């Protein structure tokens, strides 16, 4: 069994003989880094006497990791999280929980990037006086003063014409 030392293989067989399958699966997972299902299948194959080959991990380069992350981000943007987890699992040869945690982290990173990249625009309002600046206040005060002067002038001429 490449990937497992002879001592680990002996321990797994011994645990199986003692009917401690769960402990054997745990030991296999720790030794190989595979997911729960893969470890269970491998330990059951050992139990049946079949040859089992531990997974071979391929070193990935940063460019492939960036391409994979971009592909996962596209799938998340299309709301295809299950497919993203599946692709991550295949690329990194890891368990379901590890893949889901990694995809969740990418999704959280996407949310944080969206929050920081969006400009903080003021809320749009139908209220013309919602933007309360000093300039607007002076304009409004001047407009009210002019309207009052016009009304006062009209009232003066109307009252002056009646003999008051």
CA angle 147, 150, 154 (to 5 degrees): 140
- Res 144: pLDDT: 95
Helical (H) or strand (E) element with 34:
none
Distance of CA 127 to the CA centre of its chain: 37
Best CA proximity match to 3, nearest among 39, 41, 36, 37 = 39
For range 137-144, the mean pLDDT: 88
- Res 124: pLDDT: 54
- Res 27: pLDDT: 87
Tens-place pLDDT, residues 29-67: 888 777 788 888 888 988 888 777 655 444 455 567 778
Residue 112 inside a domain? The answer is yes
Separation between Cα atoms, residue 101 and residue 107, nearest integer Å: 10
Which carries the bigger pLDDT value, residue 128 or residue 139?
139
At 130 the three-state DSSP class reads coil
Q: Which residues contact 87 (CB under 8 A, 6 or more apart)?
A: 68, 71, 72, 75
Separation between Cα atoms, residue 115 and residue 131, nearest integer Å: 25
Which carries the bigger pLDDT value, residue 17 or residue 133?
17
Distance of CA 97 to the CA centre of its chain: 16
Residue found under tokens 């002996």? 10
Residues 75 and 32 in one domain: no
- Res 143: pLDDT: 94
Angle between helices 81-92 and 96-117 (to 10 degrees): 120
Q: For residue 2, name the pLDDT band (cuts at 50, 70, 90).
A: very low
Residue 56 inside a domain? The answer is no
For range 15-20, the mean pLDDT: 92
Residue 124 inside a domain? The answer is no
Total structural domains within the chain: 3
Tens-place pLDDT, residues 65-112: 778 888 898 889 888 999 999 888 888 888 888 889 889 988 888 888
Residue 95 inside a domain? The answer is yes
Separation between Cα atoms, residue 145 and residue 103, nearest integer Å: 63
Alpha-carbon distances, residue 37 vs 4, 103, 130, 137, 153 (angstroms): 17, 19, 60, 70, 92
Residue 1 inside a domain? The answer is no
| Domain, as residue range, for 76 | 62-117
Residue 111 inside a domain? The answer is yes
Residues 111 and 144 in one domain: no
Residues 80 and 105 in one domain: yes
């Amino acid at each position: 069994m490449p990937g497992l030392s002879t001592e680990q293989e002996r321990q797994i067989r011994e645990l199986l003989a003692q009917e401690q399958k769960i402990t054997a699966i745990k030991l296999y997972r720790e030794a190989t880094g595979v997911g729960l299902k893969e470890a269970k299948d491998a330990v059951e194959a050992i139990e049946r006497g079949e040859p089992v080959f531990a997974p071979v991990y391929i070193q990935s380069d940063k460019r492939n990791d960036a391409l994979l992350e971009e592909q996962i981000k596209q799938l998340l943007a299309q709301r295809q999280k299950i497919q993203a987890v599946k692709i991550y699992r295949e690329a990194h040869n890891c368990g379901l929980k590890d893949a889901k945690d990694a995809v969740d982290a990418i999704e959280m990173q996407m949310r944080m990037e969206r929050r920081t990249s969006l400009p903080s625009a003021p809320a749009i309002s139908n209220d013309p006086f919602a933007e309360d600046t000093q300039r607007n206040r002076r304009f409004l005060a001047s407009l009210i003063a002019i309207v009052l002067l016009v009304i006062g002038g009209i009232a003066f001429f109307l009252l002056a014409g009646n003999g008051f």
